[in-house]
Structure 1
Amino acid sequence: MAKLLWGMIGGGEGSQIGPAHRLGAGLDGAFDFVAGALDHRPEAGREYGQRLGLAADRAYGDWREMLEGEQGRDDRIDLVTVATPNATHFEITKAYLEAGFHVLCEKPMTMTVEEGEEIVGLARETGRICAVNYGYTGYALVRHMRAMVARGDLGKVRMVVAEFAHGHHADAADADNPRVRWRYDPAQAGVSAQFADCGIHALHMASFVIGQELDRLSADTVSCIESRVLEDDAQVNLRFDGGAAGRLWTSSIALGRQHGLTLQVFGEKGGLRWAQEQPNQLYWMPLGGRLEVMERGGPGLSPEADRASRVTMGHAEGMPLAFANIYADLAEAIRARKEGRDMDPAADLYPRAEDGLRSMAAVFAVAESGQGQGVWMDARPPMFR
């Protein structure tokens, strides 16, 4: 089977996220990395792309040059990943969708709700895939949690508790560090800092697992380091459209926490607990039973979990492999479209533009609720009300 062709914008040398995407896209042999505009400095991007193995004529200086170059090729890319600074996501994603390319965009998909609605409408109009990289939903046991909820193992979901708290911005002396400062500057980050950066990952995972969309929320936001304009800690109460309630805590000043992404789901018939720093174990407590520890790669898991597991039980699978599952989903979706068939339902789990839009609506609702002393806000995008 011929490989699909993949290109990347951003994610250049020294990037935090670029290597994870390149590892994830290449892991299963479904994609061939053939084009890139990897750096905001054109010559640096061209040079780095060629060091990674790109042909000289496909190591582009910027995304516009790449769009023009790829449009005219018979062997144009099937998928482009947008891993540039947040404020550029909308413009680039829109341009590539309009040109007929499938897109995987880093989160946040856009900077405003209106932009998000435009991307959703454009993806629907063009029939192109627009995915958003909520990559942590690629973990095998997160997908098994979703399958357990969907098949009724927990009964009705009563409560979901999500956290994404770390302490890497807890030092007030970092106030002028440019790698930190921009995150709390409204001119560069928008209306939210910590919730928009990390909280939406936790929110999307909660919604993904319980199969319910966020309806409304109430937020308490605080800048624990007083020089910051935007929040570095948020506690958010959630209500979902299927009746579940939720609690979400996200923080960047939680000293002693490293990554801190965890999810707990409590239903009528049992509860689940998973932590990203120990991704190979899922804790399941059935009502009236004994605590069970499920192991990734073990027997009796769902097709969704089995498909997302690559190495034998007892060996760690980390973030790049979770990203690889998003790319595997996209490869299956693209191939199914090319071949005119239905895609494997166990692979139909990649986050959509609609998810990116819902996240942006939640960001604005959290910001407004936090400024309004926790007033309850409608967290749905206008087009979904």
Structure 2
Amino acid sequence: MAKLNWGMIGGGLGSQIGPAHRLGALADGHFTLAAGALDHRPDVGRDYAQSLGIAPDRAYGDWREMLMGERNRPDRCDLVTVATPNATHFDITKAFLEAGFHVLCEKPMTMTVEEGEEIVRIAARSGRICAVNYCYSAYPMIRQARAMVRAGDIGAVRLVVTNFSHGHHGDAADAENPRVRWRYDPAVAGVSGQFADCGIHALHMASFICDDQVETLSADFASTLPSRTLEDDAMVNFRLSRGTVGRLWTSSVAIGRQHGFDIQVFGETGGLRWASEQPNQLIYTPLGGRTQIIEKGESGLCDDAKRLSRVAIAHPEGFPLAVANIYCDLADAIRGTPRDGLPLAEAGLRSMAAVHSAVASARAKGAWVDARPPMFR
């Protein structure tokens, strides 16, 4: 099967997320890195793209140049990844969708709910795929957890508790570091800091495993460093549409926590627990029974968990291969086989609606608010 042509915008030299995308996209032989506009400094971006093997005529200075250069090529990109700062996601994603490209956008997909609704409409109108990189939902054992909930293995879900909390922005002396500061700058990050950065991964995961959507929420935000305009700690209570109770904590000042992303799902007849720092294991406790460890690679897993595992049991598959699973699902979808677990623009829109609702709730001292985007109410 011929490889698909892939292009990348952002994610250049020194980027935190760029290497994960390149490792992920190229891991399974589905894509070739054919084009890129990798840096906001045109010459740096061109040089770095060529160092990665991109041909000089497809090593672009910026995304607009890449759009013009790719749109009429017979071998143009099949998929474009947007891994630029938050405030640029909407314009780039919109332009490439309208030009007929499939797009994978980093989260948050947009800065506003209205922009998110427009992306959903453009994707539907164009017939192009717009996916959002909620890559944690592509870990094999998360797909297993979702399958078990769908199969009724833990009964109706009563409660979901999740958090994404780390301490890597807890040093006040490091607050002006450019790699940290932008996350709390409204001009770049938008209306929310930590919740929009990490909390929406946890919120998406709750919806994904429970196979349900957030309907209402109540939020408390805190900026524990006085220099920060946006929150670095948030507590969000929420309700899913079928009545499941949700609890979410996210923080960037929890010194001592490293990655700190985990989730617990409690049903009528059992419970599940998963942590990103031990991603190969899903902990399952049936009502009245012994706690069990379900391992990636063991027999009897759901089809998605088996399909998205590459190496034998007890061999770890980490974050880049979770990103790779998103690219596997994208490759299948582009070739005509849609994958149920692929997070599409609708997921990005719901996350942005939840962000704006949480901001409104926090400003109203925790008032419960509707978390759904207007087009889905």
**1:308 to partner: Cα distance:** 1.0
**1:192 to partner: Cα distance:** 0.7
- 2:245 is equivalent to residue 253 of structure 1: no
Give 1:286's aligned residue.
Answer: 286
Structure 2 length-normalised TM: 0.99
- 2:367 is equivalent to residue 375 of structure 1: yes
Q: Distance in 1 between matches of 2:84 and 2:186?
A: 18
Q: Distance in 2 between matches of 1:295 and 1:49?
A: 39
Secondary structure at the aligned position of 2:2 is classed as: coil
**1:189 to partner: Cα distance:** 1.6
Secondary structure at the aligned position of 1:320 is classed as: helix
What pairs with 1:219-238 in structure 2 (closer than 5 Å)? 219-238=219-238
Q: Distance in 2 between matches of 1:367 and 1:154?
A: 33
What code does the residue aligned with 1:333 have? A
Secondary structure at the aligned position of 1:373 is classed as: coil
What code does the residue aligned with 1:88 have? T
Give 2:197's aligned residue.
Answer: 197
RMSD of equivalent CA atoms: 0.8
Give 2:70's aligned residue.
Answer: 70
Q: Distance in 2 between matches of 1:127 and 1:44?
A: 34
Q: Distance in 2 between matches of 1:128 and 1:70?
A: 16
Secondary structure at the aligned position of 2:317 is classed as: coil
Which of 350, 355, 366 in structure 1 is aligned with 2:358?
Answer: 366
What code does the residue aligned with 2:310 have? R
**1:179 to partner: Cα distance:** 2.0
The answer to whether the Cα contact below 8 Å between 1:162 and 1:247 also exists between their aligned partners in 2 is yes
What does the per-residue CA deviation read over 1:318-371, in whole Å, with 9 as the maximum and x for residues that have no partner?
0000000000000000111xxxxxx26xx3311010000000001011111111
Q: Distance in 1 between matches of 2:2 and 2:187?
A: 45
Q: Distance in 1 between matches of 2:346 and 2:248?
A: 21
Q: Distance in 1 between matches of 2:105 and 2:218?
A: 28
Secondary structure at the aligned position of 1:169 is classed as: coil
What code does the residue aligned with 1:110 have? T
Q: Distance in 1 between matches of 2:185 and 2:93?
A: 24
What pairs with 1:162-311 in structure 2 (closer than 5 Å)? 162-311=162-311
Larger CA deviation: 186-195 vs 293-302: 186-195
**1:72 to partner: Cα distance:** 1.3
Q: Distance in 1 between matches of 2:97 and 2:58?
A: 19
What does the per-residue CA deviation read over 1:242-274, in whole Å, with 9 as the maximum and x for residues that have no partner?
221100000001011001010100000100000
The answer to whether the Cα contact below 8 Å between 2:164 and 2:250 also exists between their aligned partners in 1 is yes
Q: Distance in 1 between matches of 2:202 and 2:260?
A: 10
Secondary structure at the aligned position of 2:335 is classed as: helix
**1:177 to partner: Cα distance:** 2.1
Structure 1 length-normalised TM: 0.97
Give 1:357's aligned residue.
Answer: 349
- What are structure 2's unaligned runs of at least 5 residues? none
The answer to whether the Cα contact below 8 Å between 1:333 and 1:348 also exists between their aligned partners in 2 is no
Q: Distance in 2 between matches of 1:95 and 1:17?
A: 22
Give 1:158's aligned residue.
Answer: 158
What code does the residue aligned with 1:119 have? I
Which of 340, 343, 352 in structure 2 is aligned with 1:348?
Answer: 340
- What are structure 1's unaligned runs of at least 5 residues? 337-342
What pairs with 1:41-56 in structure 2 (closer than 5 Å)? 41-56=41-56
Q: Distance in 1 between matches of 2:104 and 2:181?
A: 27
The answer to whether the Cα contact below 8 Å between 2:85 and 2:188 also exists between their aligned partners in 1 is no
Moved over 6 A (4+): none
Figure out how many residues of one structure are paired with residues of the other and give that number.
377
Q: Distance in 2 between matches of 1:125 and 1:242?
A: 30
Percentage identity across aligned positions? 69
What pairs with 1:74-93 in structure 2 (closer than 5 Å)? 74-93=74-93
**1:211 to partner: Cα distance:** 0.3
